[in-house]
Chain A
Amino acid sequence: METINISLPALSLVFLLLALPVILSRAYNLGVIKPLLSSVARMSVQLLLIGVFLKYLFFWNNAVLNLAWLVIMILVAVFSAIRGSAMKPGKIFLPVFASFALTTLSILFYLNFFVIRINDVFDARYLIVLGGMLLGNSLRGNIVGIDTFYRSIRKDTKKYLYVLSLGATQSEAARPYIQESVRLALKPTLASMATIGIVALPGMMTGVILGGATPEVAIKYQLMIMIAIVVSTLFSVLLTILMTSHICFTKFGTLRGDVFIN
């Protein structure tokens, strides 16, 4: 069973749908025309380019190229995560990259090797598509987690220092903040896990079903990807906090001022 292709003239009918919000925005003076159209334009260009790019990537299906593209995806995720925090990119880039790369690669290879059992673990269709889903879905959790950790210690400086004076080691003093960060980071994923399938058919399932697979297969893939997302979010938040701690704290256990913006 093949997915029915959408012809180009048919696709233009999708864009015609946009006339609706434009008319509504005019009528009610919502002021969303400009941001809407510019976002749609950006998305279209990006998807067009990535479509062409993926077409060749899938066509060549070269292990080195696939891996290189995955690394670029990780780099972009790292920059988004750092940009979402109050930290200076130059200072924490390496530890965040190491943490994201280690998490994503190890979980991907685990899935490809042991769960899906494909012969070529570097196969673009699995490596890049699953990698993208993992990175994309754990990214928000990561941003929340890393940002919460440093922001709350900074906000709570007095309490944090007081705890150090009470005899805590640096990791003992940081522990409540790690707990809070991980809890917040996992919250959206856990919430969506609890309602999945009832409220929303997630993107992975939609894709697999449209791709011609049966709902059973789609559900197995969905289970796999959701568990992988939770695990990779938890793992990468923890790893990122541990790895950036060496840079963001002084040997005296205090936060360094110069790793933060402003």
Chain B
Amino acid sequence: MIEYKQISLNFGFKTIFKNFSLGIRRGEKVVIRGTSGLGKSSLFALALGFILPQSGHVLFDRLPLNEDSVWDIRRKVAFVDQDVSIGNYKIADWFALVSGFEANRSLDFSNKTIKELLDFFELSPDTLEKGASDLSGGERQRAALLVSVLLKRDVFFLDEATSALDKNLKRKVATFFTGRADWTVLSISHDPVWLDSPSVRVFDLEATEWKQ
């Protein structure tokens, strides 16, 4: 469902990808590994149209990503960004902002649903009243994961989304995201818990080949 076709990407003089190709099928759970600076996050940025390759293209559901399709594609992918860039928003205000976007109006952001997810991600209810910058890294990650679930999308781009969680939570989150047959999940992570599920495939970006 997501195909990178002969992508070449440079930042200035630095070559990130040269003739890079990768295909991911619907329902696959893929862990992407590799040392930093290899362009793991760039894979997500390319598929979300945040950066454009110098050559090659990205297909999403067999359709090329372009200036028209990109807006729909972004609304099909739930992205959890590495730094959880929420700024100084109070968490409740952040949720309100996201649910206020035209594309999200019909989604269920009710107190009840949010409460259930807070419980699941082991966040206390008063998290909602806190500012994002007052939360710990792990709490912020869970808040972002919570939003990604609220969006009711079935493709997930998780960029180091469990790095600041404790071991049990890492496992719980990884099991949660890899357990749904209809979800397509791409996870950039060094956490071994992601490899526990037998259905998970591992792509090594350094060797540019599948490892598992």
Contacts and interface: CB of A to CB of B under 8 A. Distances in A.
A238 to B, nearest CB: 20
Interface in B54-100: 67, 70-71, 74-75, 77, 79, 81, 83, 85-87, 97-98
Contacts of A159: 85-87
B75 A252 contact: no
B74 A164 contact: yes
Given A159-B86, A164-B74, A169 B50 contact: no
Nearest to A171: B102
Interface string B14-37: 000000000000000000000000
A161 interface: yes
A167 B85 CA distance: 15
A39 interface: no
B101 interface: yes
Interface in B92-121: 97-98, 101-104
A176 B45 CA distance: 23
A75 B174 CA distance: 59
Given A167-B104, A251-B67, A156 B79 contact: no
Interface in A154-176: 156, 158-159, 161-169, 172, 176
B48 interface: yes
Contact of A166 (B51, B87, B151): B151
A250 interface: yes
A248 to B, nearest CB: 15
A189 interface: no
Interface in A215-262: 250-254
B43 to A, nearest CB: 14
Highest count of chain A CB atoms <10 Å: which of B71, B86, B98? B71
Contacts of A158: 81, 83, 85
A167 B103 CA distance: 6
Contacts of A156: 85, 87
B145 interface: no
Contact of A167 (B45, B50, B81, B98): B98
Contacts of A168: 101, 103
Nearest to B67: A251
B91 to A, nearest CB: 14
A167 B67 contact: no
A167 B87 contact: no
A250 B98 CA distance: 23
B74 A165 contact: yes
A167 B101 contact: yes
Contacts of A172: 101-102
B144 to A, nearest CB: 8
A148 to B, nearest CB: 15
Contacts of A169: 71, 101-103
A254 B67 CA distance: 11
A122 B75 CA distance: 53
A167 B70 contact: no
Contacts of B67: 250-252
Contacts of B85: 156, 158-159, 162
Contacts of B51: 254
B195 interface: no
B147 A254 contact: no
B138 interface: no
Interface string A167-196: 111001000100000000000000000000
B74 A167 contact: yes
Contacts of A167: 74-75, 98, 101, 103-104, 151
Interface string A131-173: 0000000000000000000000000101101111111110010
B7 interface: no
B39 interface: no
B61 to A, nearest CB: 17
Given A164-B48, A167-B151, 8 more contacts: A158-B81, A159-B85, A159-B86, A159-B87, A167-B98, A169-B103, A172-B102, A252-B70
7 contacts: A158-B85, A159-B86, A163-B97, A167-B74, A167-B103, A169-B102, A254-B50
Closest 5 CB pairs between A and B?
A251-B67, A159-B85, A167-B103, A165-B79, A158-B85
